[in-house]
Amino acid sequence: MDHVDGILKQWNRERPDLDVGPMGLIGRISRIYGYLMREMSETFAKHGLNRASFDVLATLRRSGPPYALSPGDLLAATMVTSGTMTNRIDQLEKAGLVARAHNPDDRRSMRISLTQKGREVIDAAVTDHVATQARLTAMLSEEERKALDGMLGRYLSRIEGEG
Amino acid sequence: MDHVDGILKQWNRERPDLDVGPMGLIGRISRIYGYLMREMSETFAKHGLNRASFDVLATLRRSGPPYALSPGDLLAATMVTSGTMTNRIDQLEKAGLVARAHNPDDRRSMRISLTQKGREVIDAAVTDHVATQARLTAMLSEEERKALDGMLGRYLSRIEGEG
DNA sequence: GCCATTTGTCTTGACGTCAAGATAATATTT
DNA sequence: AAATATTATCTTGACGTCAAGACAAATGGC
């Protein structure tokens, strides 16, 4: 019994014509997402970051040396619009965590790279972040987590497959 | 193989010290959530709504006759702050979809009720919304959907249980 | 080589959200 | 009954996001 069960019962009473099976699944995903994000945001804040800045720094960090990507690359990794990415990079540049440089091969393109400070911040933040995520999934047994993860992976790959 | 697998591989190469199991699960939930919301937003837009206004109207609708709740009740149902709820109600009032009235028993409190137009809009929108949700889960078999839903329900109830 | 198209990034203006605090009415304490 | 605490809602200012479009550089067809 969770919060979503109550919602489905209300709909069943008010609109018995509707099949609320999919609504239950999607409602649970939304609700879980909300809780997870709220908790993870606190970890980001401890490092002076928010989800937006964390995502950009983390994308640069995990891309490996030399920790540099174009705005377009970052865009492809993060499900946001180009204007949003420009703004994110602006903020990170102001904070001294990334540097902007022109791409010598293509003057339209930029090269966003982690600064030394950016590298330090994201490495510490990721370590903390992983610990937070471990805590947020600790109420699942290893077995449960893997089973759930497997099903979500199949679902996600089918969603992405449709494009 | 989905988008998240690629991310985990990068982290494994760059930060082999980290246990990325939880990150995979949470990453998949986030990614799926993003896709689902993007699609559902289009359905809301067809009815002149967004997720915010849809949620408020739907909460009023499924509460049953007389389709009226206080801002505090709506707040408890929607994971947003009080200022956000004030703004949402303002917009819906301007659009003529809800009406504000004072609660005669408690002058601090308001009574937000669906107008006739609001009732019509949300009934049509919900019907459409459920169809969209059915489409968004159609790549899962009935068996898969129920299994996934069950695991998510257990996870959610444990998260909510912690408060 | 020239023109149209595409690509990569940035700009603008509007919107939804939040955190913090203001305001007013009701409950509680003394 | 007065003083204090609590509750319910709203206000303010800042921020992150988006959609639409601007702009410059690179590409492709002729």
Q: What is the pLDDT of residues B21-48, one digit of tens each?
A: 999 999 999 999 999 999 999 999 999 9
The whole-number Å distance from A88's CA to D16's C1' is 9
A77 and A133 in a common domain: yes
Q: Is the dihedral of CA B31, B34, B36, B38 positive or negative?
A: negative
Read off the CATH number of the domain in which B148 is found.
1.10.10.10
Verify that A22 and A97 share a domain, yes or no: no
Q: How many CB pairs under 8 A join A and B?
A: 178
CB-based contact A63 B156, cutoff 8 Å: no
Q: Nearest nt (C1') to A72 (CA)?
A: C8
DSSP B19-38: --HHHHHHHHHHHHHHHHHH
Q: Are residues A38 and A118 in the same domain?
A: no
Residues A38 and A67 in one domain: no
Q: Cβ of A156 and B2 within 8 Å?
A: yes
Nearest chain A residue to B38 by CA distance is A79
Q: Which residues sit opposite B99 in a β-bridge?
A: B113
Measured in angstroms, what separates residue A102's CA from nucleotide D24's C1'? 13
Rounded distance between C-alpha atoms, residue A39 and residue B81, angstroms: 16
**Residue A98 and residue A138 in one domain:** yes
A70 and A86, same domain (yes or no): yes
Tell me the mean pLDDT in the region A80-101.
96
For residue B108, the distance in angstroms to the closest alpha carbon of chain A comes to 27
**Does B19 contact A134 at a Cβ distance shorter than 8 Å?**
yes
Give me the residues near strand D, CB below 7 A: A 50-53, 79-84, 87-88, 91, 106-108; B 70-73, 75, 82-83, 85-87, 89-90, 100, 103, 106, 108-110
Question: What's chain B's average pLDDT?
Answer: 94
pLDDT tens per residue, range A124-160: 999 999 999 999 999 999 999 999 999 999 999 999 8
Question: Rounded to an integer, what is the distance from CA A150 to the centroid of its chain?
Answer: 19
Q: What's the domain count of chain A?
A: 2
Which of B12, B29, B45 terminates a domain? The answer is B45
> Residue A102 forms beta bridges with which residues?
A110
What does the pLDDT read at residue A163?
A: 46
Find the nucleotide nearest A87 (Cα to C1′). Answer: D16
pLDDT of residue A162: 61
The CB density around residue B112, as the number of other CB atoms within 10 Å, is 24
Domain of B14, in residue numbers: 1-45
In angstroms, how far is D14 C1' from B84 CA? Answer: 14
Pairing type for strands A110-114 and A98-102 reads antiparallel
- List, for residues B89-100, the tens digit of each pLDDT value: 999 999 999 999
